C-alpha cells in the first residue's frame, strides 16, 4: 500500500509537527483545523522550525522550500477524504476524536488508513466506531515531533498486517524509530512517564519538596534533561490529567489516582507553558516557581 498524500487533523503543537516531518520526508500533506488563524499560525511555526534546522545544518535550504510547498491547508475536514493516510491530532478527548472520524467516514477512499495520535485512549474502541477497524491504528508521535525520534505504533484488536507493515515503513521513511505497543491504557511511554510526573506532583502536594528542589533533584540526581514539573508544564497539565484519568479508569488501580493538586491547577486554568502559568509562571523573562 503506497502512501503519497497524508491528511493531518489538527494544526496545534502535535499536528504542525507531524505535518513538518511528513513534508520534509517527501510526502504531500493536507492539514485541517477549525480556524484559519490556527492554520496560519501552524504554517508560520513549521517555517520557523525548518529555518532553525537549516541554520543548524540539519536541513538544506532547498529542502526547506520544497517541504513548505508540499503542505496545503483546508478548513473543510471532508477535503481529507482523498488522502491515503489520515492522522488525527486533535485534543485528547475521546468524544472529539469519535466525532472527527464519524464526519470523515462518508468521504474516504476504501483504501484510506485512519490513525490517531492519541497518547492514551483505546485504539480498539476508536476503531470500532469506524467502517474500517482493520485499517485503523494508533500513531503516537512524541513532542516536539521534529526532534523526538520515537513513534509508538499501536494495533487495535482488528488491525490487519498490511496496515501495520505500511505504517512501519512510513516511520522508517520519516527517519524515526517505531516501538510496537499493545492497546492498553497509555501504551508504553505515558504508562511509565505520567505516573512519575503524578508522583512528583504528590511530592509537591505533600510538602516533601518545592517545585525547584523536585526538578533540580531529578535533573542532577537522575540525569533527566528536564525536571518532572517542568516537563508537565511543557506537555500541558490538562493532558497529564487526562492521561492519568485514562490510566486510573482503565486499569482500576489506586496507584494511578491523579494528585488533587494536579486537578486543582487544571481547574484554575493553569495548564503550563501554553497558558503562561503552571508549576512555573512564564509571564516574566525567567520562569518562576508558583509554589
Query: In CATH, which of 3.40.50.720, 1.10.760.10, 1.10.1040.10, 3.40.630.10 is domain 190-289?
Result: 1.10.1040.10
| Region 164-169 average pLDDT | 97
As a whole number of Å, the end-to-end CA separation of the chain is 53
Question: Among 63-72, 88-97, 130-139, 212-221, which stretch is predicted with the lowest mean pLDDT?
Answer: 88-97
| Region 152-159 average pLDDT | 97
Task: Pull the grid cell for residue 168.
Answer: 512501519
Residue 137 in this model has a pLDDT that exceeds 90: yes
Whether residue 145 contacts residue 20, with contact meaning beta carbons closer than 8 Å, is answered with: yes
- Domain ranges in the chain are 5-181, 190-289
5-181 and 190-289 in the same fold: no
- Structural fold of domain 5-181: Rossmann fold (3.40.50)
Q: What angle in degrees, to the nearest 10, is found between the helix axes of 13-24 and 36-55?
A: 50
Alpha-carbon gap, residue 210 to 107, rounded angstroms: 52
Residue 51 in this model has a pLDDT that exceeds 90: yes
Residue 182 in this model has a pLDDT that exceeds 90: yes
Whether residue 202 contacts residue 232, with contact meaning beta carbons closer than 8 Å, is answered with: no
- Mean of the per-residue pLDDT values of the chain: 97
Whether residue 78 contacts residue 35, with contact meaning beta carbons closer than 8 Å, is answered with: no
Confidence at residue 1, expressed as pLDDT on a 0 to 100 scale: 78
- 244-272 pLDDT tens trace: 999 999 999 999 999 999 999 999 999 99
Residue 91 in this model has a pLDDT that exceeds 90: no
* Active site positions, annotated: 119, 140, 152, 190
Q: How confident is the model at residue 212 (pLDDT cuts 50, 70, 90)?
A: very high
DSSP assignment of 184-209, as one string? STTTTHHHHHHHHHHHHHHHHHTTSS
> Between the CA of residue 13 and those of 16, 92, 101, 212, what are the distances in Å?
6, 13, 20, 26
Confidence at residue 73, expressed as pLDDT on a 0 to 100 scale: 98
Amino acid at each position: 500500500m503506497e502512501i503519497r498524500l497524508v491528511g493531518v487533523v489538527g494544526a496545534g503543537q502535535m499536528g504542525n509537527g507531524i505535518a513538518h516531518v511528513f513534508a520534509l520526508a517527501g510526502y504531500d500533506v493536507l492539514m485541517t483545523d477549525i480556524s484559519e488563524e490556527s492554520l496560519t499560525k501552524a504554517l508560520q511555526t513549521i517555517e520557523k522550525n525548518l529555518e532553525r534546522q537549516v541554520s543548524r545544518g540539519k536541513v538544506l535550504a532547498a529542502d526547506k522550500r520544497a517541504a513548505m510547498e508540499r503542505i496545503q491547508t483546508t478548513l473543510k475536514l471532508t477535503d481529507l477524504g482523498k488522502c491515503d493516510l489520515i492522522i488525527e491530532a486533535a485534543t485528547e478527548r475521546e468524544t472529539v476524536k469519535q466525532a472527527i472520524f464519524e464526519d470523515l467516514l462518508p468521504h474516504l477512499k476504501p483504501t484510506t488508513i485512519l490513525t490517531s495520535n492519541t497518547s492514551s485512549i483505546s485504539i480498539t474502541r476508536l476503531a470500532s466506531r469506524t467502517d474500517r477497524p482493520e485499517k485503523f491504528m494508533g500513531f503516537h508521535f512524541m513532542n516536539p515531533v521534529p526532534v523526538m525520534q520515537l513513534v509508538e505504533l499501536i494495533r487495535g484488536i482488528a488491525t490487519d498486517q498490511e496496515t501495520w507493515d505500511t505504517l512501519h515503513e512510513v516511520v522508517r521513511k520519516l527517519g524515526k524509530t517505531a516501538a510496537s505497543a499493545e492497546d492498553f491504557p497509555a501504551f508504553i511511554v505515558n504508562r511509565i512517564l505520567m505516573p512519575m510526573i503524578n508522583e512528583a506532583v504528590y511530592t509537591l502536594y505533600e510538602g516533601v519538596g518545592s517545585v525547584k528542589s523536585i526538578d533540580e533533584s531529578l535533573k542532577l540526581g537522575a540525569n533527566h534533561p528536564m525536571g518532572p514539573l517542568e516537563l508537565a508544564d511543557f506537555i500541558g497539565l490538562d493532558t497529564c490529567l487526562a492521561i492519568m484519568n485514562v490510566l486510573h479508569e482503565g486499569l482500576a488501580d489506586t496507584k494511578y489516582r491523579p494528585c488533587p493538586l494536579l486537578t486543582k491547577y487544571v481547574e484554575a486554568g493553569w495548564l503550563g507553558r501554553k497558558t503562561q502559568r503552571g508549576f512555573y509562571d512564564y509571564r516574566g523573562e525567567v520562569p518562576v516557581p508558583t509554589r
